[in-house]
Amino acid sequence: MAIFAVGLMSGTSVDAIDAAMIEVRNPDEPYPGVKLVHALHDPWDEQVRAMIFQACTPEAPIMLVGRLNRLLGEKFSQAANRVIEESGVDRDEVRVIGSHGQSIAHYPDGPQGFTWQIADPAVIAARTGIDVVSHFRSMDIALGGQGAPLVPYFDWALLADSEEDRVVLNIGGIANVTWLPAGAPLEATLGFDTGPGNMVLDGAASLLSRGRVTFDQNGDWARGGRLSTPLLDDWLSHPYFRLSLPKSTGREQFGTAYVAQCIKESRRAGLADADIMRTLTVFVASSIASGIGQVAPGPVALVASGGGVKNSLLMSELAKRLHLIRDWQTSGALGIPEDAKEAMAFAYLAFQLLKGRPTSIPAVTGATRPHLQGSITPGDASS
């Protein structure tokens, strides 16, 4: 009988729930292969999106967070049930659901560091009748790690090559990279958040347009502007970029308040809206390229995924700054569709937990030892 798993997540851009159904191939092997069966992208309505952004602030009332946790559990359940129904897969063949949830806080550093992802797994388990793996980051934080990024294990298992050095880049709200030296073991994998991705571009588009648009489609708005080199240099001096590995970041450092400050500085410098978008786009590309250069100074093959790959200006500015073996390619060219990659990863990580296989990489997160990732909520509470 075929084995299937579902992955669910909503990223730091807070644009949608991504759901993916994967078939797990050769499940008894330590690192099984996968095939995407079906995926969906379910955008948040503006009311829920506004609630999520409010929950991401330090002043968020506990009643808001509690009710939102329940509401997102219901929404994630609906996405899971929908991807199962649309896939045509028999529900009894779905072994597990991996739900990353929605991050609302990520403060991993220090003895009282914590990370918080919501979307109640008990609700998802109750509504689907399937075991749910959630809270993927918590044990890593408990063991002194960053709890992120989580996808490098998946990247190594599915995208590493025996002969070619590869950098796997995901540009979501935050941009993160996985360094995969040719033929290297899992323990040699490096991964980290390079800094902001779509988060600052989407935030600027929304603020500059007063909410009329929420992203710069294909980079067309930025393409009409001119770069401010002084502002670019100033933004690239942000302390995060100078931190040594391991490191991770999020909306806490590069969210709405940060974008508003960038716009304020741009106005003082006399920049038009298009100039602001251009400078921020080059800023994101430059910070990603600089991060990649920290771990991969020589020629590399770039494999990219996430919403950022649809911004052709961003990708061309990035390519200019990298020493590439060839033109960059999407993960889809290697069998992992770029729009579904992260949701697929959480389905994969959840399946590996059921098999008792540690999926953490201490060199990536800084945890004191490899460990199992995630907590299981049974889908059949009577058993």
Domain boundaries, the chain: 3-150+339-377, 165-324
Cis peptide before 185 (omega within 30 of 0): no
Closest CA to 194 of 115, 295, 110, 265: 295
pLDDT at 372: 98
- The pair of structure tokens assigned to 348 is 């994969």
d(CA 323, CA 346): 31
Q: Would the CATH topology of 3-150+339-377 be identical to that of 165-324?
A: yes
Q: What is the pLDDT of residues 22-46, one digit of tens each?
A: 999 999 999 999 999 999 999 999 9
* Model pTM score: 0.95
Give yes or no for residue 382 having a pLDDT over 70.
no
Give yes or no for residue 306 having a pLDDT over 90.
yes
Q: What is the pLDDT of residues 249-305, one digit of tens each?
A: 999 999 999 999 999 999 999 999 999 999 999 999 999 999 999 999 889 899 999
pLDDT at 298: 84
Mean pLDDT of 226-250: 97
Give yes or no for residue 383 having a pLDDT over 60.
no
The answer for residues whose C-beta is within 8 angstroms of residue 106's C-beta and 6 or more apart is 115, 116, 147, 148, 248, 249, 250, 251, 252
DSSP-assigned letters across all residues of 257-313: HHHHHHHHHHHHTT--HHHHHHHHHHHHHHHHHHHHHHH--S-BEEEEESGGGG-HH
pLDDT greater at residue 1 or residue 123: 123
- Confidence grade of residue 381 (pLDDT, cut at 50, 70, 90): low
89 φ/ψ angles, rounded to the nearest 5 degrees: -80, 135
d(CA 344, CA 255): 26
Max CA-CA distance within the chain?
65
CATH 3.30.420.40 describes domain 3-150+339-377: yes
- Confidence grade of residue 1 (pLDDT, cut at 50, 70, 90): low
CA angle at 285 for the pair 229 and 316, rounded to the nearest 5°: 100
**What kind of architecture, by CATH, is found in domain 165-324?**
2-Layer Sandwich (3.30)
Give yes or no for residue 141 having a pLDDT over 60.
yes
Mean pLDDT of 209-230: 96
SS3 at position 101: strand
The answer for residues whose C-beta is within 8 angstroms of residue 135's C-beta and 6 or more apart is 101, 117, 121, 374, 375
| % residues pLDDT > 90 (the chain) | 96
SS3 at position 228: coil
- The pair of structure tokens assigned to 301 is 């093959």
| % residues pLDDT > 70 (the chain) | 99
CA angle at 310 for the pair 293 and 10, rounded to the nearest 5°: 85
Query: Which residue in this structure is represented by tokens 């990279």?
Result: 177
pLDDT at 281: 98
